[in-house]
Amino acid sequence: MTHHAIGIGGGPMPVPSAAIGRPAQAASPFPAHLSREVLRLGVALRREVLAGLEAEMVEDCEAAAGLGDPRTCAPDDRALWDRGAWRRYLDAAVRLEAGYGPRMRRLREDIARLERLLDLPVAA
C-alpha cells in the first residue's frame, strides 16, 4: 500500500507504507527537521519544474505559430514572424493557459513561500 504526501506543485508524492510508523530518519530520504539546505533544495526543484513547464508551453506556442507559411514565419526566428504568426502564438498561449497556468502559479507560490522561510532569522 502506498500513501501520498504533497509533492512538488501540489501533486502527490508516494510514500511507501513501510515508512509509516517508523522513525523519520530510517523511513525517509528527507531530514526530520526543516533546514536551510532542505528549503534551498525545495526552491531549486520547484524552479527546475517551473522552467520545464515554461519551456514546454513556449514550444507548444511556437509550434502553433509555425503553422503558417514557412517563408514568412520561421518558428526559430521571431524577428521574421508576421502578424499572423504572432496572433497564432498568442492564441495558443491563451488556450494553453488553462492547462499550464494553475501548475505554474502554484510552483511560483511555493517558491515564494520557501524563500520567505529562508529569509527568517535563525535562532541559536
Q: What range defines the domain where residue 21 resides?
A: 1-33
Residues 64 and 107 in one domain: yes
Residues 96 and 58 in one domain: yes
Q: What is the pTM of this model?
A: 0.65
pLDDT in tens, 25-54: 555 555 567 788 999 999 999 999 999 999
Q: How many domains does the chain have?
A: 2
Task: Give the DSSP per-residue string, 82-114.
Answer: -HHHHHHHHHHHHHHHHHHHHHHHHHHHHHHHH
Q: How far is residue 108 CA from its own chain's centroid?
A: 8
Same-domain status, 2 and 18? yes
Predicted confidence (pLDDT) per residue in 47-93, tens digit:
999 999 999 999 899 888 876 555 555 666 778 788 888 899 999 99
Same domain for 2 and 40, yes or no, is: no
Give backbone dihedrals phi and psi of 21, rounded to 5 degrees, phi first: 90, -5
